[in-house]
Amino acid sequence: MKSKRLLAKGRLFASSIRSTVFISFTATALLAVAVTGLIFYLRFSNQLQSNIQSENHQLVEQVAQSLNSYLRNMIRLSDSVSYSVIKNRDLDKEPINESLQLLYNNNAATVERIALFDGDGTMLSAVPPATVKAGAHVADCDWFRRALARTENLHFSAPAVQNLFSTSSASYSYVLSLSCAAELTSGTRTRQGVLLIALKYSGISEMFANTALPNGGYVYLLDSEGAVIYHPKQQLLATGLFTEPSLAAAEWSDGSHSLSDAGKRYTVIVRSVGYTGWTAVGVIPNRGLPVGSGQDLLFMFMILLLCFGALVLLNSAISRRLTDPIQNLETSVQQLERGADGKIYVGGSDEIRHLGISIQRLVDQMRKLTDDMVREHEAKQKSELDALQAQINPHFLYNTLDIIVWMIEKGKYDDAVRIVTALARLFRISLNRGKNIITVRDELEHTRNYLTIQQMRYKDKFRFTIEAPEALLDLAVIKLVVQPIVENAIYHSMDFMDGDGLIRIVAEREGDDLYIRIMDNGIGMPPETVAMLLTEHVPISKGSGVGLINVNERIRLYAGAEYGVKIESELDVGTTVTLHLPARPAGEGATT
């Protein structure tokens, strides 16, 4: 049920890395096992086939050699009779029966009879003693004629029922005739005769009958003309009840041959038998060869399945080992996505570990960037708040209003008008519809108004100048960055001046940079104080409370780290504070 659901959802072979690895490995293993199995099967099958064939060859070879040996013995017997018993012996004076009997006795197991015939077919001697059947014409017999026709050779005939000699019983026997010409001596006269050695057929048939080839195979013997000398089913062959498919083997070369007959396949091993021209033929039906048996195939299939099962388990372990670290990594990334504050998994192989470390670094960097952004945002908010505070510094406003009141009481209406005007402009620019970026013109105007107010508050203890080329007045600048510097100059330098104080504000452009320098000729500062001003929050006892650090941070937040505030100061000479800003037109980058 679950499998059905999985199949329906297409998740059974889901494309997870583990499934992919497992299925790929398993498919590869299956292919490898199948190919290996096939190769081994073919290899061993061929090897076994070859071994079987070799054994079969050896069996046929053994039969052929036994037959050769048997025939050699018979030839030796024939030679013995010819040369030791018959030749140079005066048959009229020296009977040969005793010698023949001796040789016969030695070979009685394989020899049926030994007989000597005169050239006209008259029997001269025979052991065991026998008489030629009445009506038998020896001279017409094939073996007799062949012996006289080719006197230099020995002649073997096909097996036949022995019908030459009279026998007392109704029994019969099959014999093979070995005949050869013999030189008969009578006194001083020599003539051709024929020696007949009737070989027992059982001598050959037993040799073949005892040789069994696999799968019901058998060995049989053909003579040089293709007639069957021995066949295990010779009787059935004679009446056509059995048909030998390989009877043409007499004309085949020695070796192994394939034969197909009536839908059956056979391996036929042919081995010629030396002197006689006979051919020993082994016939092995191909069906049911041991390597092709169902049992062997089942066994091999079982082994292959076991191997495949083991490989699947191994694949499972390997894929788990390979993919578990990836899954752990994925899980930790997912947890991170969900907002958990866990560590990224680092483990597994080198590549996965490296990936984990890289992701962890990335996460760390992201966290740092996020923290920085938060911090910057907070700093920006703070500096803006500070700037806002500077705009509405109540202490400054109170003092200014106090002066205005004083001026009015003293009848200095023009001065009062002037300071009120300056204050009004100061507030207009300070508010400036909430914009943070204003033009240089407005910033300097704001500063001028501020300085005007302060100049009147400080009873002209200092003078001020503002120098800015017309071309720079429409450039953008962060609101209220000059005024805090001027304020510092007033409180920390001009306060001690006695009418000769000077504050110079110079705006300059160098390339794409805008420099606004606030220079005073006050008491100056030692270098360590200068160094402290931009790194530590120095408590401000007077003024708006907006320090150099605030201005510096605001410029850098607005323009980048390469911009900011630079302080140059020399004791008893004065201080120059340079605001370094990008020279951007007021329309660009103006933010609210």
Partner 1 sequence: MRTTERIILCCILVLLIAVAALYTAASLGSDRPVPVYRVSVILGENADNLEKGVNSAALACNADVHSVQITNSTPEAQTAALTRELQAGADAVILVRCDAAALSAYLDSHTVPVPIVSAEAPPIRGRNVTNISGDSAALARLLGESVLADGGKGSALLVSEDGDVALDGREEVLAEALSAGGVSLTVATPWDAISPDAPGLLIAADPGVAEQLVAAAPAAARIYCFGYDPSLRSACENRRIAALAVISEFDAGYLALQSAVERIAGDRPADALLLGYLVRGDNLYEPPVSTILFPIE
Name the residues that contact partner 1, by CB under 8 A.
Answer: 2-3, 6, 12-13, 18-19, 22-23, 26, 135, 159-161, 163, 170, 172, 174, 201, 205, 234-236, 238-241, 294-295, 298-299, 301-302, 305-306, 308-309, 312-313, 316
The least CB distance from residue 279 to partner 1, in Å, is 19
Q: 3 or 591, CB closer to partner 1?
A: 3
Q: 221 or 466, CB closer to partner 1?
A: 221
**d(Cα 506, Cα 297) in Å, to the nearest integer?**
103
The least CB distance from residue 7 to partner 1, in Å, is 10
Contacting residues for 284 by C-beta, under 8 A, at least 6 apart = 56, 213, 214, 215, 217, 266, 267, 268, 269
Give the residue among 356, 359, 349, 344 at the shortest CA–CA distance from 319.
349
Q: 302 or 401, CB closer to partner 1?
A: 302
**d(Cα 113, Cα 132) in Å, to the nearest integer?**
12
The least CB distance from residue 58 to partner 1, in Å, is 24
The least CB distance from residue 16 to partner 1, in Å, is 9
Q: 298 or 417, CB closer to partner 1?
A: 298
Q: 313 or 392, CB closer to partner 1?
A: 313
What Cα–Cα distance (Å) separates residue 68 from each residue in 63, 93, 527?
8, 37, 127
**d(Cα 350, Cα 356) in Å, to the nearest integer?**
10
Q: 216 or 585, CB closer to partner 1?
A: 216
Cα 188 → chain centroid? 98
Q: 172 or 275, CB closer to partner 1?
A: 172
Are 246 and 268 in contact by the 8 Å Cβ rule? The answer is yes
The least CB distance from residue 287 to partner 1, in Å, is 16
**d(Cα 153, Cα 140) in Å, to the nearest integer?**
19
Q: 294 or 411, CB closer to partner 1?
A: 294
Contacting residues for 467 by C-beta, under 8 A, at least 6 apart = 504, 505, 506, 507
The least CB distance from residue 318 to partner 1, in Å, is 12
Structure tokens at 333: 């990334």
**d(Cα 25, Cα 319) in Å, to the nearest integer?**
8
The least CB distance from residue 5 to partner 1, in Å, is 10
The least CB distance from residue 158 to partner 1, in Å, is 9
The least CB distance from residue 55 to partner 1, in Å, is 20
Peptide bond into 582 cis (omega under 30): no
**d(Cα 397, Cα 417) in Å, to the nearest integer?**
16
Q: 159 or 348, CB closer to partner 1?
A: 159
Give the residue among 269, 268, 267 at the shortest CA–CA distance from 286.
267
3-state class of 80 per DSSP?
Answer: helix
Strands 174-186 and 154-156: antiparallel
What Cα–Cα distance (Å) separates residue 171 from each residue in 135, 162, 166?
19, 10, 11
Q: 12 or 366, CB closer to partner 1?
A: 12
Beta strands of 410-552 (E only): which ranges? 437-439, 462-467, 476-478, 501-510, 513-520
H helix runs in 392-439, sequence order: 394-409, 413-431
| Sign of the dihedral through C-alpha 207, 208, 209, 210 | positive
Q: Angle at Cα 431 formed by Cα 427 and Cα 432, nearest 5°?
A: 110
The least CB distance from residue 19 to partner 1, in Å, is 6
Scanning the structure block, which residue is given the tokens 């062959």?
237
The least CB distance from residue 273 to partner 1, in Å, is 20
Q: 174 or 396, CB closer to partner 1?
A: 174
